[in-house]
C-alpha cells in the first residue's frame, strides 16, 4: 500500500493551512462542505489521523477513531437535516473506486432523491 502523502489537500485542511466550511468538528473527525457539490447537500467526513483509505483505517485506527468516524458521518447528516428525508454515504477507494484525494473520506449526499446508486 502507498505511503500517506502529507501534502494531500485534506491534511492541509486538518492543519488549517487551507480553509473549509465546517459542518462538524471533534477530537478525532472533521466534516466540511465539498467544494464541488454533486447534490444539494454534499459533505465530506474525514478522520483527523493519517489514513490513506478505508483499508488503512480499518487496519491501523483505534476503535475510538473508527467509532468517531461513523458517528461524525451521522452527526453531519443530522446537522444538515437529512435524517428524516434520507441520504447516501459513499467511500471511494483506490483506482477502480476513482478515489482522488489520498486521505480517507466519506461523502454524505442528500437533499433530493439521489436515484440509482450506480449509472449503468
Q: Which are the catalytic amino acids?
A: 105
Please check whether residue 105 is in contact with residue 46, taking contact to mean a CB–CB distance below 8 angstroms: yes
Could you say whether residue 8 binds ligand AMP (CB under 6 A)? no
Could you say whether residue 9 binds ligand AMP (CB under 6 A)? yes
Site for ligand AMP in 34-53 (CB under 6 A): 34-36, 44
Among 98, 113, 116, 119, binds ligand AMP (CB under 6 A): 98
Please check whether residue 94 is in contact with residue 53, taking contact to mean a CB–CB distance below 8 angstroms: yes
Please check whether residue 1 is in contact with residue 55, taking contact to mean a CB–CB distance below 8 angstroms: yes
Which helix or strand (DSSP H or E) is residue 10 part of? helix 9-14
38 or 62: CB nearest ligand AMP: 38
SS3 67: helix
Could you say whether residue 20 binds ligand AMP (CB under 6 A)? yes
Among 92, 94, 111, 114, binds ligand AMP (CB under 6 A): 92
Cα 79 to chain centroid distance, Å, stands at 15
CB 97 → ligand AMP: shortest distance, Å? 7
Q: Which residues is 45 bridged to in the sheet?
A: 31, 106
20 or 82: CB nearest ligand AMP: 20
Backbone angles phi and psi of 24, in degrees to 5: -160, 140
Judged by the rule CB under 6 A, the positions of this chain that interact with ligand AMP are 9, 18, 20, 34-36, 44, 92, 98-101
Amino acid at each position: 500500500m502507498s505511503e500517506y502523502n502529507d501534502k494531500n489537500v485534506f491534511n492541509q485542511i486538518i492543519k488549517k493551512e487551507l480553509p473549509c466550511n465546517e459542518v462538524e468538528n471533534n477530537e478525532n473527525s472533521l466534516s466540511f462542505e465539498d467544494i464541488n457539490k454533486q447534490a444539494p447537500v454534499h459533505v465530506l467526513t474525514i478522520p483527523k489521523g493519517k489514513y490513506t483509505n478505508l483499508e488503512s483505517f480499518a487496519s491501523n485506527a483505534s476503535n475510538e477513531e473508527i467509532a468517531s468516524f461513523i458517528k461524525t458521518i451521522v452527526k453531519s447528516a443530522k446537522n444538515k437535516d437529512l435524517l428524516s428525508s434520507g441520504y447516501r454515504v459513499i467511500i471511494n477507494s483506490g483506482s477502480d473506486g476513482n478515489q482522488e484525494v489520498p486521505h480517507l473520506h466519506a461523502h454524505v449526499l442528500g437533499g433530493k432523491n439521489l436515484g440509482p446508486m450506480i449509472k449503468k
